[in-house]
Structure 1
Amino acid sequence: MLDDFDQEFWARGHRFVRYADDIRVFVKSKRAAERVLEQGTRLLEQRLKLRVNQAKSSIAPATTAVLLGFGFFFTTSGVKIRVAPKAWQRAKARIRSLTSRRWSVAMEYRIMRLNQYVRGWMGYFRLADTPASSGIWMSGSAVDCAKSAGRNGNASAPRSRTCVHSGSGPTWPGNGA
């Protein structure tokens, strides 16, 4: 049904992104955005007989637009994709919980779960232009956890230096690189 919407907006020459019923249309000015919002709403409600939630419909600069955890930013070479700030915060919180000293599990299990999470996260956000410092932050979090386990006399703590490999940052023995 929304394929008709896609065809109409392609025919009009609009730049847009749509995932299921979540649509972002990119135009040059606020006035053009107001006009396109009006046209899109009319097309969806009158021709396609769909309801548009006016509370969720808005006009905002592309730099603040977020779609499925991705954001956009401008450089001299054009528009690039980034990880949205909320997605960064959720990832950091999840890594903190996986590396928390309060979670009393074997170090091998902790590293396995951390690797699963980081691999999935990096796979999902592979299109984003992610700073290299993110891998170093993730590695540091895992190393801090391993060091604290060793200090506390945890028998399951690894005997060699271990790090989670996130695709960037330092390469240490045991990280699968």
Structure 2
Amino acid sequence: MKKFFDTVNHDVQMERVARKVRNNGLLKLIGSFLRAGVEVDGRLQEARKGTPQGSPILPILSNILLDDLDKELEKCGHWFVRHADDLAIFVKSERDGNRVMKSITNYLEKRLKVTVNLKKSKVSRVKESAVLGFHIHFKKLRTTESKIRKFKAKLKLISRRCTGISIESRYFKLRKYIQGWMSHYGYGLKFDAAVMLDG
């Protein structure tokens, strides 16, 4: 979905939130949060669309908005994975894939007023696609090479000696980063890759 968080329609978002939230005070607070705007050249500009980035409420709002999409996909009997605005739908053939992509794009743009990023959207074989940093390969997950490369680059960056921080601080940062990365991507590592990263 193209710049999803920047283009969320406030009316559509608040209509979906009102289905779940009955407290008028809370609804007003969420509406104020959406319209909070940004400061540009020292002047506050009220936001007419989009949601403020980096807020802890953002994932909840996106899930509330896209809940209708999830239900539509379930109703059609599709297997799918969605995390925030990233979506992968699994079908039996390329023909089915093209039909579903057209149908879901139409649903998102007409019903939810969300623009689909057609440059990033494609129909492809499961083994050629990456979903949230993983390849699905014969019922197994494999971490993508690009995620492993980024991981190694970040390790080198944190490990540099000329950063002006103590060895203890560097060790703490490394350990924290490795634990976080492994808790998400470690499941999809091949054994040899895991040994290589561990050593």
The TM-score normalised by the length of structure 1 is 0.66
**Aligned residue number for residue 116 of structure 1:** 176
**Aligned residue number for residue 71 of structure 1:** 135
Per chain length, whose mean CA-contact separation is higher, i.e. which structure has more relative contact order (CA < 8 Å, sep 6+)?
Answer: 2
Distance across 1 between alignment mates of 2:66 and 2:165: 48
What is the aligned-residue RMSD (CA, Å)?
2.1
Select the residue among 185, 189, 199 that pairs with 1:125: 185
Letter in 1 for 2:151: A
How far did 1:13 drift? 0.7
**Aligned residue number for residue 196 of structure 2:** 137
Aligned length: 135
Distance across 1 between alignment mates of 2:194 and 2:160: 18
Q: What is the CA deviation profile of residues 100-157 of structure 1, one whole-angstrom value per residue up to 9, with x for unaligned ones?
A: 455565433332222111111112225x3322333432343xxxxxxxxxxxxxxxxx
Kindly tell me: are residues 106 and 21 of structure 1, through their superposed partners in 2, closer, same or farther at Cα, counting changes over 3 Å? closer
- Give aligned-pair identity as a percent: 35
Distance across 1 between alignment mates of 2:185 and 2:198: 18
Which protein is richer in helix relative to its size? 2
Classify the secondary structure of the residue corresponding to 1:125.
helix
Do the aligned partners of 1:95 and 1:138 also contact (CA within 8 Å) in 2? no
Counterpart check, 1:51 vs 2:107: no
**Aligned residue number for residue 145 of structure 2:** 85
Distance across 2 between alignment mates of 1:136 and 1:18: 31
The TM-score normalised by the length of structure 2 is 0.59
Distance across 2 between alignment mates of 1:34 and 1:137: 40
Kindly tell me: are residues 135 and 34 of structure 1, through their superposed partners in 2, closer, same or farther at Cα, counting changes over 3 Å? closer
Distance across 1 between alignment mates of 2:115 and 2:170: 46
Kindly tell me: are residues 115 and 7 of structure 1, through their superposed partners in 2, closer, same or farther at Cα, counting changes over 3 Å? same
Counterpart check, 1:6 vs 2:76: no
Structure exhibiting the larger radius of gyration computed from Cα positions = 1
